[in-house]
Chains A and B, each alone.
Chain A
Amino acid sequence: MHAPSASISRAQAIVAALLAAVCLVPFAYLAALSVADPWTFPALAPEGWSLARWGRMLTGAGALGPSLSLSLSLSLTVAIASTAAGYVTGKFIAYHPWRRRLLVLAYVPFVMAPVILGVCLMYLFLRMRLAGSVAGVMLAQTMFAYGFSIIFFNAFWSARLKAMEDLVATLGGTTAEAYWRVLLPVSVGMLLICFFQTFLISWFQYGLTLLVGAGKVQTLPLKVYDFVSEANMYYAALASCLLVLPPVALLWVNKRFVFRQGLGTT
């Protein structure tokens, strides 16, 4: 009786391994390519392995280091600003009598593609001298991520949370105590998820960054594209690895601290 279930679990294991391979092989290939020295067609394997390119990246060659720091600081700022603003605005809209009408406004950035949004904003950004600047790219990305954050938190603010806030008031607590002692601890999982999502929105943004940044704001996705168009596959692979590492780290943090501790606390 146990044999069929054992064979089913073996089959499940094989399918799971295949799925994992499908997901991981492209990344493994990129990692291999970034340390290949050299790897030319039709060779099945590189002639050698070298960390020289990673070393040059760390010492500033190829401008990958500055692009990495720029992308990190840009995405962290966009994620923090849009998560914090979306948390507060989402609450305001959720309990507003005109909730539906206000929510439509938050959907506006999503109705059009980011590039179209960039084109619409371009005249304004040129007049404000924000085009071609990091501040302009940050603002444009934040506008997009902020809309997402509002929609995300609008669903989170429920009648139950409002009742909890009211309860703290009748127990003698101030608004600040309600936030600090109850609402923020209860929201921590959702805040982390929203931070993660908005970070990714900014991190992988290409079209909007290219347009508003006028090619002067060289984030990692732009660098990857540059290397690809130069047919510099080794540096393109290296830049792609850098592009993947922060999201993987955030995914690990989310898995470790959000899903394990339980979103079910709300």
Chain B
Amino acid sequence: MHPSNGRAAADAFLTVRGLRKTFGDEPVLRGVDLRLPAHRTMSVLGRSGSGKTTLLRLIAGLERADAGTVVLGGRSLDGVPARERGAVYLYQESLLFPHLSVRENIAFGLTLGAHRGRDLDGEVEAMIDVLGLTAHADKRPHQLSGGQQQRVAFGRAVILRPKLLLLDEPFANLDAAIRTQMQDLFQRLAAAYQITALFVTHNLKEALLMGDRLAHLRDGILKTYDSRQAFVDDPVVGVRDEMAFWTALREETS
């Protein structure tokens, strides 16, 4: 074993070993291994259909794996239902509850059995403030823009201080400017709330921006990288091709 891998295994907060999933006759994940230390974000880059969403759903407990184990914070999640895992899933769509206001959406998780008894009002108001949504707190989701809706979805997840945040291309439906704002917001929240997260995306730039750990998922096989340099140097990832394209464009236009 590589020395750095051994250290990573010892420090790992999330450990996934040999995760396999087949739908019908089609294998989607073929033995995925990954280790992620606490308070770090791993970007998982992959094309559509590469198994990214399945990987997150298995870790969240929304699908049952054919084989493999998931250990989170030293606890095996085998047979643990989704509601007891402490892993919150964030979707491409904000999925705000349409009958609730912004404030009620953000407070939603705190009012469920698992979190009752916490200082609801204080935490919710603080989160609304952090998200910059004070003026919109009493609005319904349909009165918000796409970016604001996704901010509320982040707040609703982060306020629970989950052990793990699973982000399934949460910015894919946003335009470029809002996407940049949201990436910045996520990085601020991740630092402030010491979030451990798996961030899947098909966007190369976003993967590099969001993750301090990097991985590439292709045909159900996950490859993790020890450094950004190793990620950039791997021809399968496509960073070199991207850089060559922009360099050629700069030379052509200068």
Q: B-contacting residues of A (Cβ < 8 Å)?
A: 160, 163-164, 166-174, 177, 181-182, 185-186, 264-266
Contact = CB atoms under 8 A, between A and B. Distances in A.
Contact of A265 (B82, B99, B157, B160): B99
A171 B98 contact: no
B99 A171 contact: no
A170 B62 contact: yes
B192 interface: no
Contacts, number: 71
Contacts of A266: 98
A167 B62 CA distance: 9
A177 B112 contact: yes
Interface in B9-29: none
B167 to A, nearest CB: 12
A172 B93 contact: no
A86 B112 CA distance: 28
12 contacts: A160-B93, A163-B95, A166-B62, A170-B60, A170-B87, A171-B83, A171-B112, A171-B156, A172-B160, A173-B83, A173-B112, A264-B142
B225 interface: no
Interface string B77-93: 00001111101110101
A158 to B, nearest CB: 11
A160 B61 CA distance: 18
Nearest to B157: A171
Contacts of B93: 160, 163
Nearest to A264: B142
B108 interface: yes
B95 A160 contact: yes
A177 B112 CA distance: 8
B91 A186 contact: no
A123 B112 CA distance: 52
Nearest to A97: B24
B114 A172 contact: yes
Which 4 pairs from chain A and chain B are nearest by CB? A172-B114, A171-B109, A169-B82, A265-B98
B113 interface: yes
Contact of A172 (B60, B98, B112): B112
Given A167-B89, A172-B84, A172-B113, 6 more contacts: A169-B62, A171-B88, A172-B114, A173-B83, A173-B112, A185-B99
A173 B111 CA distance: 9
Contacts of B156: 171
Chain B interface category by residue count:
20 to 34
B97 to A, nearest CB: 6
A170 B95 contact: no
Contacts of B62: 166, 169-170
Nearest to A265: B98
Contact of A166 (B89, B98, B112, B157): B89
B149 to A, nearest CB: 14
B113 A170 contact: no
Interface in B78-137: 81-85, 87-89, 91, 93, 95, 97-99, 108-109, 112-115
Interface string B128-156: 00000000000000100000000000001
Contacts of A173: 83, 109, 112-114
B109 to A, nearest CB: 4
A163 B91 contact: yes
A222 B168 CA distance: 59
A169 B83 contact: yes
Nearest to A166: B62
For B93, B99, B160, which residue has the most chain A Cβ atoms within 10 angstroms? B99
For A168, A169, A171, A264, which residue has the most chain B Cβ atoms within 10 angstroms? A171
Contacts of A182: 97
A186 B82 contact: no
B91 A174 contact: no
For B61, B81, B98, which residue has the most chain A Cβ atoms within 10 angstroms? B98
Contacts of B61: 169-170
Nearest to B97: A182
For A160, A173, A186, which residue has the most chain B Cβ atoms within 10 angstroms? A173
A74 B238 CA distance: 67
A171 B91 contact: no
Contact of A171 (B108, B142, B166): B108
A163 B114 CA distance: 20
